[in-house]
Structures are given as C-alpha cells and as structure tokens.
Chains A and B, each alone.
Chain A
C-alpha cells in the first residue's frame, strides 16, 4: 500500500512516527504551518519556525527516506495581533521559493472574528499575487459551520482564486457538500475525539463521491494519530472497496492536487 500524508505537523512528532509512517507506505508528508500551542511573540519567532519547516524538518524526514513538503502562513489563532500578522505576512515571500514550499497554509479561521477574517483576506491576496496553492483550516466544533461559510464567501468573492487550486480541510458531514459544490477540494481529518473517525470518513466518501477529497491525520502535539490514514485504508477494504479505490483516495488524489505545484515531485 502507498499513501500520502497531506497534513502532518511533524515538528511535533518523534522519529518513531516517521519510521512507522514509512513502514505503513507513506510516500510523502506535507506540513502546514500552524500554532505552536502558545502564541509566538515576535517576527523572529516566525522566521525561526519557517526555517525549521524549510530546512531542518525536510532533512530530518530525509533520514527516513520520506520526501517532506510544507506550507507557510500565520495561523488564524495568532491573527488577533494585526501588527504582528502584517509583519509575518511580509516575511513569507522570501521563503516561498524554497524547494519544499507548496503554497500558503493552513490559513482560515479559528473563532470567526473580524481580525481573523482580515488576516485571512491578506493571506488570500498573498497567495494570488504569488500564484500559490492554498490550504484552508476550518474552525473547530461549534464554530466550523459558520467559519466554513465565511471562508467560502471570501474565497468566492476573490476573482483571482481558482477553486481547483484550493483545498478546504477538516470538513465534516455538515460542511463537505458546500465545499465540493463550490468547486474546491475537501480534506477530511481523522482524529480520535473530534473531526472525523475512519468509519465516518468512508461514509462521506460513499455519499459525496471521492474525486476531489483527500484524507489526513493532521497529527500534531495534541491527541492525534500519525497512522490514521493507513488505518482508514483498512476500514475501506473491510467494507469491500477495492485496492484501486484505496489507492485513488489515499495516493492519487493528493498527488493530483499537490502536483499543481511543480515542486511536488512524487508520483
């Protein structure tokens, strides 16, 4: 079996996780920029993080023969400090030329505030200006539905945004259809307690189709499972889906989306 982990926060994971993922068939891992668990206090803190994502982490991953890619942004959780956000956005272009940088992400909303929306719009503008792919984080729990609607409104309102170059992640049963119907890609995140479980993820594939969907573990420093994607392959096979179906969803789909960035050289 082969699969892509399109959303893993590997700076928070151990080398044991890298080894387990490769042994399970992982062919590439993609790491969106995200919140460290605390707010970074300065632009210098972000510069160090972007260097970690573009220099150190791909080297660590390479020791396990695993290609590592990343996405850059300021996480919506840190968008309340507008002055810092502007300075960080100004820093991003100098890293966009890096050989493992796929685009801008994971941008989006957290608690659906005005400041978060303003910073989301700035990120969209940046992505369009530099012709970058976009990876969007949708909010947690009770905020997801409203946040997804606000995000879709902003993306659809920008004439420079091409929906086929945007993936909207962490969809669930109440948000997946509106994302796909608007022409965007959808990401289903497999978490033990929140977001989707493997059975619910396969339900969504069966009900909503599987053309523009990827699955990810979004493993980070919280409760999460870096092997959630291959475990979902087992759920698919147990329900009678073919090996070709599994390969399409877990490998071919992410390769198809990510290959829109010429730097993604897997597949």
Chain B
C-alpha cells in the first residue's frame, strides 16, 4: 500500500481529468470515451479481476477473421460497425 497508492492516485486523477477535458472540448461522444466511461464503471462494482474484465470490455467481441484489413492501427477500444 505504501508503495502503490500515490502513483495509482495520480493515474486515477489523469482518468478523471481526461474525461473532464473531452467534455470541455465536446468530444465525449467519441466511441473511445464512451468505452472508457463504461470500463471505468467496473472499478467500483466490488467484483474481483477488474483488470481482466476491463480489458475484455474494451475488446473486439467478434470471433470471425475480418475479410479485409482496414490498413489502420488498433485504437484501444472496439468500435461497433456502423448500422
């Protein structure tokens, strides 16, 4: 606890400030911000294995290989296909 608390407190504040910032700049509706808020909600649910569950929440849930490559890099959160 003595070693870990201060660095993690700083990271939590970075998350909070990031969410404030994207709202201020009116991009809070970006799918990555939505995913971040949903993932952050898992922190307080009292259940174990938060790291695993947050990673799963941010993952592509589909199972079939993609037909073609987008040619772009991964973005950190899964974007559902446009309807």
Q: A113 — which chain B residues lie within 8 A by C-beta?
A: 65-69
- Chain B residues touching A, range: 20 to 34
Report if B47 contacts A (CB, 8 A). Answer: no
Number of residue pairs spanning A and B whose beta carbons lie under 8 angstroms apart: 68
B62 touches A146 (CB 8 A): yes
With contact pairs A140-B73, A143-B60 given, residues A174 and B66 touching in the complex (Cβ less than 8 Å): no
Produce 1/0 per residue, B29-58, CB < 8 A to A. 000000000000000000001011001101
A114 to B63, CA, bound (A): 12
Q: Which residue of A lies closest to B78 (CB)?
A: A142
Report whether over half of chain A's contact residues are helix, strand or loop; otherwise say mixed: helix
Q: B73 — which chain A residues lie within 8 A by C-beta?
A: 140
A117 to B69, CA, bound (A): 12
A150 to B56, CA, bound (A): 16
With contact pairs A141-B74, A141-B75, A146-B63 given, residues A173 and B55 touching in the complex (Cβ less than 8 Å): yes
- Chain A residues touching B, range: 20 to 34
Q: A117 — which chain B residues lie within 8 A by C-beta?
A: 65
Within 8 A of B (CB), among A218-254: 238
Report if A57 contacts B (CB, 8 A). Answer: no
A116 to B65, CA, bound (A): 9
Q: B61 — which chain A residues lie within 8 A by C-beta?
A: 146
Report if A19 contacts B (CB, 8 A). Answer: no
Within 8 A of B (CB), among A4-42: none
For the complex of A and B, list the 5 residue pairs with the smallest distance between their C-beta atoms, beginning with the closest: A174-B55, A145-B59, A173-B52, A141-B74, A140-B74
